[in-house]
Structure 1
Amino acid sequence: MTETLAQLFEDASARHEAWGLRLLSWREIVAWADEWVLALPEIPDDLLAVSLSREPTREAQDGLTRLAGQSSGSAVVPYLRALWARKRAAGELDDFEITRQAWRLTGGSIPYDSDDFLVLARMDHFSDEADGIYQLTAEQRAKARRHLAQEVAWFLAGETGHLEAAWDEIAAAGERAEPVWHPNPPEARQAQALFAKVNVRRL
């Protein structure tokens, strides 16, 4: 495989994920494919199928999927970070939606043992607090919303330096909230699972 084709596959993987999350329109996917068609001396059939489509037909989507399947997936998270950051700045995506979309990448593009996963786990935790799942006060939800905004900013920037000092804080928050979770088993189990992952990561 040439370096150029490897880059095509990585690009395709990133666009494929962005299309699945509805972060890109099909027109944008086609424009990307057109650029590659002009740059390559030999055009893969799957790329041509995407470039020649004007609607997301099954053939075109399958072509994009096959191109993406030949990648390592290393470009997915950096590309999505840039898209999320742009759409967040434009007011097109809020922190709750970014958290929801990013969570879909866990276990794959975002491994469970990575620092990115731990930042995302904190985002998910604060998102739940902020949207009222834990029956917190308005002041507590507002505080959680501020925490969520900061965690999302760190996640989009790829910053993980705050993690080491954050675990005691989130564990203490869990202990304080335990009486609230107790009558609500699904949320209690989710919280306990999060703190178990935190404790494992700290060892």
Structure 2
Amino acid sequence: MSQVAPRRVPARADAWRPQDEVLNGLIHKCIEQAYRRNAETGSMAAFFGGVIVLIILGVIMSTGTGNPLLAIVVVVLLAGSGLMYAGMNAPAPKVDPIRILDVLGGPGNLPAGYLVYPAAWRAGMPEFLNKVSDRQVAVAARLCREHPGSVADLIRLVATAEQHAHEHAYGRSVTEGDIYRYAHRATVEWARLAPAPMMAAH
């Protein structure tokens, strides 16, 4: 059974990407901290678990052999071997991507332009868009630069535009262009009424 290829970062025809250095830096920092925190948590859990096992083993050996010194030597040797094995075979830390940007409200709370920002796609964006169709993502990517709301706002708008296009198709097939036209009109009006986004100048 073939696996579905992971969705790639959508690209705009003008190759635009958001240039808000502060927010970009925060996203990268969140990614870095998430992996570091996960690695530290896993390492400490394994370390303390190993220490408890070795202490129990040492007590059993000391009681059984009547030789505490021998028990200590064996425990030290096992501890050294265990640490070496753990260091060489430790699995890559697993991070829940959708939680990486929790401090920023999650990937859906990012400004709409971050739909096309690669780092956001390493911080939960694919998971956030898991139930969104490729066509909706493509339309959203075309609109994300001018849309004044969040990624979640933009996706909802595109989904509504697609539904509206179907309702007025009158038997025709709905195309990406149809959805874009409806969504673009709404975006222009929204942008006219809403405050200009900070990254619009970039």
TM interval, short-chain normalised: 0.3 to 0.5
Q: Which has the larger radius of gyration?
A: 2
Question: Structure 1 length normalisation: TM-score?
Answer: 0.32
Structure with higher RCO (Cα < 8 A, 6+ apart): 2
